[in-house]
Amino acid sequence: MTDIAAEYYEQLAAVCQMYLPTSSREHIHKAYVFARQAHEGQTRASGEPYITHPLTVARYIAELYLDETSIIAAILHDVVEDTPVSAEAVEECFGKDVRHLVAGVTHLAGVNQLEDIANFFNSAASDVRVVLIKLFDRLHNLQTLEHLPPYKQRAKALETMRIYVPLAAKLGIWNLKTELETLIFTFIDPASYEFICLGIENSAAIHEPRLQVIANNIQKLLRNKGIPSAIRIKRRSPYSVYQSAAKNALESHNFSRAFRLIIQVDSIAQCYLALGYIHQHYSHLGGSLADFIGNPKDTFYRSLHTTIFVPDYSPVDIRIRTYELDRLSEFGIVARLQFSNGEEVKQLKDATWLPELTKLYSESETVNRFIDTIFHDVLEKQITVFTPRGKEITLPRGSTALDFAYHVHTHIGHECRGAVVNGKPTHLYCELSDGDHVEIIRGRQNDGPLFEWMDDTLGYATTDRAKRKIREWFKRQETRLLIRRGQEVLREERHRLNVDVTSHTLTRDFQLEDVKTLNILIGGGMLPINEVALALLRHVSDLFARSDTPYSQVVDCRGQVGLLKGVNGREVRLASCCHPEVDSDVIAHERNGRVIAHRSTCPRVIQVKKIENLIKMEWVKLNEVPSVVYILLEAYNQGSLIRDLSIPIAEIGVSIVEMDMLNTDRNLILRLKLELTNEQQLISVIHRLALLQNVISVRRLTFEEAKNWRKNLSFYEENRSVG
Enzyme catalytic residues = 81-82
DSSP 488-526: HHHHHHHHHHT----HHHHHHHTT-S-HHHHHHHHHTTS
Q: Label residue 542 exposed, middle or buried (CB < 10 Å: 0-12, 13-18, 19+).
A: exposed
Q: What is the rounded distance in angstroms from the CA atom of residue 83 to the CA atom of residue 489? A: 56
Residues 6+ apart with CB under 8 A from 507: 513, 514, 515, 517, 518
Q: Specify the DSSP element, H or E, that contains 94.
A: helix 87-94
DSSP 544-601: -EE----EEEEE-TTS-EEEEE-BTTB-EEE-TTT---TTS-EEEEEETTEEEEEETT
Q: What is the rounded distance in angstroms from the CA atom of residue 132 to the CA atom of residue 70? A: 9
Which one, of 145, 175, 167, lies nearest residue 157 by Cα? 145
Q: What is the rounded distance in angstroms from the CA atom of residue 533 to the CA atom of residue 538? A: 9
Q: What is the rounded distance in angstroms from the CA atom of residue 682 to the CA atom of residue 626? A: 12
Q: What is the rounded distance in angstroms from the CA atom of residue 677 to the CA atom of residue 653? A: 9
Q: What is the rounded distance in angstroms from the CA atom of residue 135 to the CA atom of residue 57? A: 9
> Strands 304-308 and 290-291, how do they pair?
antiparallel
Which one, of 689, 609, 619, 693, lies nearest residue 656 by Cα? 689
Residues 6+ apart with CB under 8 A from 537: 497, 499, 543, 679, 682, 683
Specify the 3-state DSSP secondary structure of 364: coil
Instruction: Tally Cβ neighbours within 10 Å of residue 266.
Output: 14
On whether the CB atoms of residues 81 and 102 are closer than 8 A, the answer is: no
383 DSSP β-pair partners: 395
Q: What is the rounded distance in angstroms from the CA atom of residue 282 to the CA atom of residue 307? A: 10
Overall size of the chain counted in residues: 723
On whether the CB atoms of residues 629 and 682 are closer than 8 A, the answer is: yes
Q: What is the rounded distance in angstroms from the CA atom of residue 77 to the CA atom of residue 64? A: 18
Which one, of 233, 288, 223, 283, lies nearest residue 262 by Cα? 233
Tell me the C-alpha to C-alpha distance, in Å, between residue 285 and each of 73, 233, 258, 310.
Answer: 49, 20, 17, 11
DSSP 234-268: EEPPHHHHHHHSPTT-GGG--GGGGEEEEEEESSH
Which amino acid, one-letter code, is at 713?
L
Tell me the C-alpha to C-alpha distance, in Å, between residue 144 and each of 58, 118, 138, 330.
Answer: 16, 26, 10, 24
Q: Specify the DSSP element, H or E, that contains 656.
A: strand 655-663
Tell me the C-alpha to C-alpha distance, in Å, between residue 560 and each of 190, 504, 563, 622.
Answer: 20, 47, 10, 11
HSE at residue 649, side-chain half, CA atoms within 13 A, is: 19
